[in-house]
Amino acid sequence: MKIVTIGLGYIGLPTAIMFANHNQEVIGVDVKEDVIKMLNNGHVHLEEPGLETELKKAVQSGNFKAQLNVEPADAFIVAVPTPNKDDPYKSCDLTYVLDAVKSLVPVLEKGNTVIIESTIAPRTTEDFVKPLIEEAGFEIGKDIFLVHCPERVLPGKILHELKYNNRIIGGVTSACTEAGKKIYSIFVEGELITSSASAAELSKLMENTYRDVNIALANELVKIGEDLDIDALEVIEMANKHPRVNIHSPGPGVGGHCLAVDPYFIVASTPETTPLIQTARAINTSMPDFVFSRTKRLMEQINGKKITVLGVTYKGNVDDIRESPALEITQKLVDDGSYEVSVFDPHVNQSWIEKDFKKATLDSDLLLVLTDHNEFKTLTEEDLSEMKQTYVLDTKHIFPSHVVKNHYLSLGNIGSLSRIERVPSF
């Protein structure tokens, strides 16, 4: 089978490589010439364990090549970004999806399958994609098989989860669903769950919305704990020992291409019936301001002059800074202008990030932990030897607190900020 994958980002590229390494002919299409060149030379443009090794295998076998243009194939997979629009409900911007579909319509042939993997608002496949194909003279379910098959993978484990996770196959018709099942059965070993396209769209969005709402509950508990001087993390740990309770971990906010984006697609589709989802979004988007204000308060109390930010990605052990609350907090600190701000993140290659940890912490008063990279979990007293003061504000609860003893604050005991003695100014 020949498969064209449009969009070679965090989902499209691993998906294309997975098909290629299961003996399918795969053409990867992207709009970035530098990305095309890198991929054809066997190098990936994003951080994902094992991906470059699998890419080299796919290129060397001749089963994968990247290019700028779409060409005829048996199946087409659209895996392009769907950002939020700048409107009151941050609705789904379908520009890239619809452009991708328009680019493949001229090469469509009867019997082809078109799969939308991009995360989209409910009813997008039927109300927006289907008409574009029908306008070209094709009958959906007879001439062309149209499917929504959302990804449900964890960055850092994408290759494993693409293969072993259950997969929703949402066809516009039953024949479309069967066509989608045939394609994904090439490599998926999890259950292939059959559904309609619209139900598949909403299921994907609700999977991420569930997590967003749960995290909002945890973040609200942090604020409750601060007001009542109760350790919120201890409360969560005890509550989760109940057999039917699973409160998620609080943090500095919610980022990435899913949790910080997808709930708005549901809200925009039906704003009057989604007060809980909207409230959860408001709580989570308030966390960067919360962390920023508590950081300023701590710096005032310890008479601090320099902050070292540890991590700016939206989650640990990846290089992805999309919608990152850590990046938002860092920018707020820089814009405030009250402190010297140094940033250390071993996973992000940017000119404004200090690559040497000792230089990043030189004369620093505070380590502000905003991302749970593994590298931060094993820091020692010696690693902090260049700091002026060794205070830590750990928003991810991963720092070895014994290293700094009584100078450690987390979102659990952030209420104790008020009890820290103010350091005199000289």
Contact 115, 149 (CB under 8 A): yes
Residues 176 and 286 in one domain: no
pTM greater than the 0.85 cutoff = yes
Residues 28 and 133 in one domain: yes
Q: Domain ends where: 197, 221, 243?
A: 197
142 assigned to active site: no
**Domain presence at residue 212:** no
Q: What pLDDT shows up at residue 246? A: 97
258 assigned to active site: yes
**Domain presence at residue 248:** no
Q: What pLDDT shows up at residue 419? A: 64
**Domain presence at residue 217:** no
How many residues does this entry show for the chain?
426
CATH assignment of the domain containing 302: 3.40.50.720
- Of 204, 223, 306, 315, the active-site residue reads 204
Cα separation values, 234 from 230, 239, 241, 255, 370, Å: 8, 9, 11, 24, 20
**Domain presence at residue 250:** no
**Domain presence at residue 424:** no
Over range 292-309, report the average pLDDT: 96
**Domain presence at residue 272:** no
Locate 71 and state its tokens.
């060409």
Which residues, in sequence order, are CB contacts of 38 under 8 Å at separation 6+?
Answer: 44, 45
CA pair distance 214, 367, nearest whole angstrom:
27
Residue 405: pLDDT band with limits 50, 70, 90? confident
Which residues, in sequence order, are CB contacts of 14 under 8 Å at separation 6+?
Answer: 48, 51, 54, 153, 158, 159, 162
Q: What pLDDT shows up at residue 426? A: 44
Q: Domain ends where: 197, 230, 251?
A: 197
Q: What pLDDT shows up at residue 234? A: 96
Residues 40 and 189 in one domain: yes
Residue 424: pLDDT band with limits 50, 70, 90? low
Counted domains in the chain:
2
Over range 291-318, report the average pLDDT: 96
pLDDT in tens, 67-103: 999 999 999 999 999 999 999 999 999 999 999 999 9
Over range 22-41, report the average pLDDT: 97
Q: What pLDDT shows up at residue 421? A: 59
Q: Is a pLDDT exceeding 70 seen at residue 26?
A: yes
pLDDT in tens, 310-363: 999 999 999 989 899 999 999 999 999 999 999 999 999 999 999 999 999 999
Contact 269, 122 (CB under 8 A): yes
Q: Is a pLDDT exceeding 80 seen at residue 403?
A: yes
Residues 20 and 169 in one domain: yes
Q: Is a pLDDT exceeding 90 seen at residue 417?
A: no
**Domain presence at residue 408:** yes
Residues 193 and 296 in one domain: no
The lowest-confidence range among 124-138, 184-198, 261-275, 398-412 is: 398-412
- Of 223, 258, 306, 396, the active-site residue reads 258
Residues 163 and 312 in one domain: no
Q: What is the DSSP string of 194-212?
A: EEEHHHHHHHHHHHHHHHH
Mean pLDDT of the chain: 95
CA pair distance 307, 390, nearest whole angstrom:
11
Domain residues for the domain of 289 are 282-419
Nearest C-alpha neighbor of 259 from the set 232, 245, 277, 244 = 277
Q: What percent of the chain is modeled with pLDDT above 90?
A: 92
Residue 396: HSE in the Cβ half-sphere, 13 Å Cα cutoff: 24
CA pair distance 295, 326, nearest whole angstrom:
13
